[in-house]
Structure 1
Amino acid sequence: MTKLTKTQKSRKRKKPDNQCSPSPCPSSKPSKKANVTLSSSNGSEPFPDFSGPSPDQCRAVRDDLLALHGFPKEFIKYRNQRSLSPIGHEDDDDISGTDSCKESVLDGLISTILSQNTTEVNSLKAFASLKSSFPTWESVLAADAKLVEDAIRCGGLAPTKTSCIKGILSSLFQKKGNLCLEYLRELSIEEIKRELSCFRGIGPKTVACVLMFHLQRDDFPVDTHVFQIAKTLRWVPIAADVKKTYLHLNRRIPDELKFDLNCLIYTHGKVCRECSGKGSDKPKNEHCDKLCPLLRQSSNAI
């Protein structure tokens, strides 16, 4: 996940208005992380002589992982919010019981920050604790930092995450006069990236996650699991870094496959020791390693 940075203390707040409309970023110089995010669809080609993966390869990996794992239950609610074709291996109870209401974009952004460098269970606990401790984001902004830290401590890195969250809320309030990010739904992907990258501590992976999960846009976040498996599959050169992998995969993977493929690769990376490059550091999963369809595909690609 992206590394969080400390933010400046909140300035005196302005009187809020009731509109949630787009506005340009401050004129401050963007960070290096912002530049990584903004360059995802410009004219540069990170690996001009590297043609993979092909659409057929992406589809084959999606189908193989779906047959192996089924679609991950934790992502079904987000999939149901998107205009995607029905996909097999979902339990009817999971689909019918899914809450179809979209959470706010600001909720999604904060929950993504809380998910950094911790487990899914702990991040969900931290977000639930934060929401129960403070009824509104305005109350989080106004609260003493120590109280916010106490609310999210179970998610780890409480001081750093508190600083990031309060900094985002302060910056958003100064910029918009309220704490609302719903205006992002009306913007293009590149405009959304520019807006979110203006906030300190928000890097390209956080932006990509908000785009894919909370704004239902076609983007392909690259975390450690996706990065390692992309190398295992030889979808990027062995010397590729995370930035260039993100740029390359977002160019090569068809939009209609990005969401499913990302969720499935992430899930697979958590359980397959060989694909994730963790070796014996991970407990052996009887359904992976020797039977792993991705290892077979990577062998065929040699």
Structure 2
Amino acid sequence: MKSRKRKQLQSQIDPNKTTTDNAEPYPDHPLPTPQDCQAVMDSLFSLHGFPPEFAKYRCQRLKSISPDLTTKISPPPINVGSQDAVKSQTSVEHEHEESVLDGLVKTVLSQNTTEVNSQRAFASLRAAFPTWDDVLAAEPKSIENAIRCGGLAPTKASCIKNILSCLLEKKGKLCLEYLRDLSVDEIKVELSHFKGIGPKTVACVLMFHLQQDDFPVDTHVFEIAKAIGWVPATADRNKTYLHLNRRIPNELKFDLNCLLYTHGKCCSKCTKKGTNQKGRASSHGTCAMLNYCKNSNVNI
């Protein structure tokens, strides 16, 4: 009986074992090719520069490759002329490095809200409760009040409380740094045990906070991927995630994901919502993705 359970657990975390959950959903869909990925990334980089809000995570990835590398390489180029961009550029090296638990909670708070609101919610949470032990000991209503500006406060407060309770029960302390010693598949199994933590949240923690090669698919990435034919028009987000993680070269995943997300936020032509936040993409009347559009049903 124990042997059977052990085999079942190994099948969940064995990266070489093909299961229904991680099988290629679109084996006959040829896009994107590595060349497509590089071309789109180059086009978006020329338009946006590297998004300043992700610069600190990019530096952390470089540091994880080689501790001495960040002292030899200047921070990634960003759009000039923006005070926020300049501030971000100069503060990358001095910003406090987040813990993995910080990153997971931040990602939970970012669900179904704007980046500005989620950042405010996290800052408010830490101002009210300086340590995660304080959060765990707090009444749910107090946590809700602290994060209310981020939306869906009851749901998110319950999720955060559950994460901390389960973590303390399982590990005896409120810390997720042990994930750094696990494989990607093992990390996915560990994080999926927490109620309310789905594939996109796991992928964001992997890419931003554990410096792993993964490719989260949010609404912006999903819509652009369909518009340029990287997945079939009938694809859903989970299958898009599986497909793109198979097709996109690991070395391009981080930069390409950040650029697609940034472009999706500021170009109304690449999203169904039709919103047009401040940015350079749609202000020129054309879209950087025009040459890559493979889906004739999408008007870019």
Q: Give the length in aligned residue pairs.
A: 270
What's the TM-score once normalised by structure 2's chain length?
0.82
Deviation at 1:275, TM superposition (A): 1.0
2:147 corresponds to 1:168: no
What's the TM-score once normalised by structure 1's chain length?
0.81
* Corresponding position of 2:117: 122
* Corresponding position of 1:59: 38
* Corresponding position of 2:68: none
* Corresponding position of 1:287: 281
Moved over 3 A (4+): 37-42, 84-96, 281-287, 299-302
SS of 1:196 mapped into structure 2? helix
Q: 1:134 aligns with which of 129, 133, 158?
A: 129
- Gapped regions of structure 1 (runs ≥ 5): 1-26, 31-36
Deviations 1:264-300 (A, max 9, x none): 0001001111111233x44686632732121222159
* Corresponding position of 1:273: 268
* Corresponding position of 2:53: 74
Q: 1:153 aligns with which of 148, 151, 159?
A: 148
Given that 2:47 and 2:280 are in contact with CA atoms closer than 8 Å, whether structure 1 keeps it comes out as no
* Further displaced range: 267-276 or 100-109: 100-109
Q: 1:41 to 1:233 in 2, by over 3 A?
A: farther
Q: Which has the higher helix share?
A: 2
Q: 1:129 to 1:285 in 2, by over 3 A?
A: closer
Deviation at 1:88, TM superposition (A): 3.8
Q: 1:67 to 1:41 in 2, by over 3 A?
A: farther
Deviations 1:159-182 (A, max 9, x none): 111111001101111111111100
Q: Aligned residues: percent identity?
A: 60
What letter matches 1:171 in structure 2?
C
Deviation at 1:90, TM superposition (A): 5.9
Given that 1:111 and 1:123 are in contact with CA atoms closer than 8 Å, whether structure 2 keeps it comes out as yes
Q: 1:225 aligns with which of 206, 209, 220?
A: 220
- Gapped regions of structure 2 (runs ≥ 5): 1-5, 66-72, 81-85
* Corresponding position of 1:15: none
Tell me how far apart the structure 1 counterparts of residues 184 and 77 of structure 2 sit (CA, whole Å): 29
2:254 corresponds to 1:259: yes
Greater relative contact order (Cα < 8 A, sep 6+)? 1
* Corresponding position of 2:27: 48
Tell me how far apart the structure 2 counterparts of residues 160 and 195 of structure 1 sit (CA, whole Å): 21
- CA RMSD, 1 decimal: 2.9
Tell me how far apart the structure 2 counterparts of residues 54 and 241 of structure 1 sit (CA, whole Å): 20
